[in-house]
Amino acid sequence: MGGRIILPFFKVLHMKADLRKLNKEQLEAVKHYKGPCLVIAGPGTGKTTVITHRVMHLIKEYRVKPNEILVITFTKAAAREMEERFCKLPYYQKDYKRVAFGTFHSIFYRILRAYKGYRLENLLDEKEKYYVIKSIIKTLGYDFYEDEQVIESIISEMSYMYNTLANIDDYEASSIDNAVFKSVFKEYEKYKYYNDKYDYDDMLVHCYKLLISNEEILNSIRAKYRYILIDEFQDINKVQFEIMRLIAYPDNNIFVVGDDDQSIYSFRGADAGIMIEFSRIYNTAVKITLRYNYRSCSAIINSAMSLISNNKNRYEKKFVTVKDMGINPLVVRVEDFEQEAKIICQKIIDHVNQGGSYSEFAVIHRTNLQSRAFIDAFTIANIPYVSYDGLASVYNHWLLKDILAYLKAAIGIDRRNSLIRIINKPNRYIPRYVIEENIGKEGDFLDNIAIYSSLNDFQRKSIYELKDSLCRIRSMTTSKAIKYIRGYIGYEEYIRDYAFAKSIDVKLFDELLDEINSSSESFAKINDYIEHVRIILESVDYKYNENRNTNAVSLMTMHKAKGLEFEQVFISGAVDGVVPYIKGDDISLSELEDERRLFYVAMTRAKRVLYIFVPKNRFSKKVYPSRFIREIDSWLKDYRNSFKCGDKINHKHFGDGIIKGIEKRAEDYILTVEFKNDTKRLNLDVLLKNKIITLI
C-alpha cells in the first residue's frame, strides 16, 4: 500500500462531509499539495480551518507522514488552539499527534537543543532580561536605571536589530541615544557569553547561523520537515523567513497564510514586504484569496475596506460577507475623552440591564495611556473588565510615583520616603551622602538637611523653597496641586530636560502628565486621589487574572486586539495625534499606512455593532477627527449630524466661519455659513468627502 494511511469507511464519509462545508477558495487551499502557496486570508475568513484541514489532507490524500509536517504560529496560545482544532477533526487518529505544532521560538529551540545542546535553564526569560539590562545600565553609571520606559526602549531596539539581522556597528537606534544603546548592548552580550546564557532573540539568530554554517545539520532538518505551514505570515521578520527558506529548499513546500492589511508589528521588525514579495521570491507560487468573511456584518466590512483601500502597498482584495448588511459604523462626537468613557459606560450598563452581557463588549484604543479614563470609569461604575495590556501605564509609571510623592509629602503620608524620592526632582543639588546621613534622624527631614553644615546658600534656599511649596500644596485641590508641581516647582521642565538628554520623545511624558491631571479632576481632596490610585493599583492585575474568560468588558490597545472578535466594539479617541499617532505632514507614508492598518484591525474586531468615538477636546485643547474617519464611506450619515447652527468651522479656502443654517435637500445637507467677508451656501457632503471643512 506504499505506506498509505487507511481510514475506516465511516471516517472517510465524515471527512468528505466536512470538506463540503468549505467554500471554493478554502477547498482549493486545503487541496494544495506541493510547492509554494500564498493564502491571503482577511479577518474572519476561516484561516485556522484551512490550515488544520490542509494538514489532514496532506496526511490522508497525499500520504505525507505526520512527523514530516511543521505548523508554525506566532504565539503559544495560537499554536495550542491550532493543535486542539486539528485533534477535534472527526477523522483524527492518535498517530497524527506527531505533526509538529509550535511557535518560531519553540521550533528553533528544538533545533538548538538537538544539535547544540541548548538547555532551558540557560534561557533568560523576558523578566530576567529586563533586570539584567537594568543592572548593566546602573553599572555603566547612567542615572536612568529606574526608568522602565528607557529600559523597554533598549530591549525593543535589541529585538529589532536581531530580527532584521542588522549589525551592531551599522545599527542606528531610533528611540534611545545611539551611544547609550551600543554601550548597553555590548555589555549585555558580554554578560550572556560569560554566564552561558541566551534569550529569545538569540534563538532566532543562533538557529540561523547554525543552519547556514552546517550543511549536514541543515539537510537533516530539511529531511525532518518536508511540509511547512506558517500562520499570520504578515508578521514574519527577516531572520524567521530566512530560516524557513533554508529549511524549505529545494522542494519549497511552504504554505503561508496571512493578511497584509493586518501587518501591525513593524516596530518589532515584522516585514509585510516579505508577504507582498512572496510571489516574486517564489515565482511558481500559487496565490489564493479567501473572499468570504464569516465574522462581521456587511456594513462593517464595507466600511473597513473603504478605509484600507487607501493603502498603496498591499494586495488588492474584495470580501463577500455571509452575514446580513447590519448597521453602519456609528460615529459619535463627544466633548472630551472623559465624557467618552462615561458614555461608553452608560451604553454598556443599559445593554446589560436589558439582558445583555459585559463580555459582548470591547473598548479598543490606540495607546495604553488612553485606558486610564476607562479604568477610572469602570472602577467607579463597578463594571467588570479585563485589561489585556495589564496596568494602565499612567498608574504604574514613575512620573505618577513622583507626583504622588509630592502630594504625600505635602499632607504627611510617608513623608520621609516621599521626600527622598523627589528631593532632587527637579535637581536641588543635594548630595546623596547628605540625604543618607539624615534618613534616620529625629525631627523634620527637610529641616535637618537645611541645617547641614556643608550645604551652600543655593542648596539651603532650595530646601526652604521646597518646604514652602509643600505647605502651599496642602490647601490646594488635587488638580491645582498637580499643576503647581508641574509648573511653579519646575517638575515639567525637569522632565523635558530629562527626555532631551535621553533622546526620548517628550510627547510621551507630556501626555502622561496630562493624563495624571485628568485623572485627578474628579477628586478635590488630595487624600481621596491618593486612595483612588491605591485602589486602582490593587485591582487591575487582579481583574486581569480573575475576569479573563468571564463575563467582563475587554479593554485593549489596537495591537492587542488582533485575532479577537466581539459582538460590539467601541473605538476610542479617533482624532489626529492619537490615531494616526503622528499629526499632519510630519507622518511618513509608511507610518501612515501602519496606522491605517491598526485602525482597520480595530474595526474588523466587531461582529455586529461598531462605535467610533471622536472627542472634540483632549487635555482642554481642540482636536480634530482622524483622517481615517474621513476615509470611511459610511461615516457621512452619522458625522454630518455633528454640525449644528452656531458651530464654528474652518474652510480650506474661505477660512473660519459660523454655521447660520442647515437645510436638508433630498439626500444632501446644505449649510449656510457666515465668513468674514461673505455668506456662503455649501453642500456639506461634498465638503466632507473632499476634506475641505472641519469643526473648530
Answer for the pair 295, 44: CB distance below 8 angstroms, yes or no: yes
**428 dihedral zone (left: phi>0; alpha: psi -120 to 50; beta):** alpha
CB burial class (10 A; 0-12, 13-18, 19+) of residue 389? middle
Q: How far apart are CA 164 and CA 271, in angstroms?
A: 9
Give the span between the Cα atoms of 555 and 368, in whole angstroms.
10
Nearest of 651, 389, 634, 621 to residue 511 by alpha carbon: 621
| 47 labelled binding-site residue | yes
Report residue 632 as a C-alpha cell: 470611511
Instruction: Tell me the pairing of strands 361-365 and 566-571.
Output: parallel
- The residue among 273, 240, 284, 261 whose CA lies nearest residue 36 is 284
Q: Among 249, 318, 246, 236, which Cα is nearest to 276's?
A: 236
Per-residue HEC secondary structure of 227-243 comes to: EEEECCHHHCEHHHHHH
**Would the annotation count 223 as a binding residue?**
no
The secondary structure of 469-485 as a DSSP string is HHHHHHTS-HHHHHHHH
186 assigned ligand-binding residue: no
| CA dist., res. 12 & res. 649, Å (int) | 67
Residue 613 bridge partners (DSSP): 332
- Helix runs in 521-603, H state only: 526-547, 558-561, 589-603
46 is in an annotated binding site: yes
How far apart CA 125 and CA 505 sit, in angstroms, is 28
Residue 45 annotated as lining a ligand binding site: yes
- Residues with Cβ within 8 Å of 457's Cβ and at least 6 positions away in sequence, in order, are none
Q: Is 42 annotated as a binding residue?
A: yes
Q: In DSSP terms, which residues pair with 609 in a beta bridge? A: 568
CA-derived radius of gyration, the chain: 29
SS (H, E, C) 401-465: HHHHHHHHHHHCCCHHHHHHHHCCCCCCCCCHHHHHHHCCCCCCHHHHHHCCCCCCHHHHHHHHH
630: closest CA among 570, 568, 695, 567?
A: 695
d(CA 48, CA 46): 6
Beta bridge partner(s), residue 286: 37
- Give the angle 309-314-320 at the CA atoms, nearest 5°: 55
CA 377/CA 342 separation, integer angstroms: 6
Which residues are documented as binding site? 41-48
Which residues are documented as binding site for ATP? 41-48
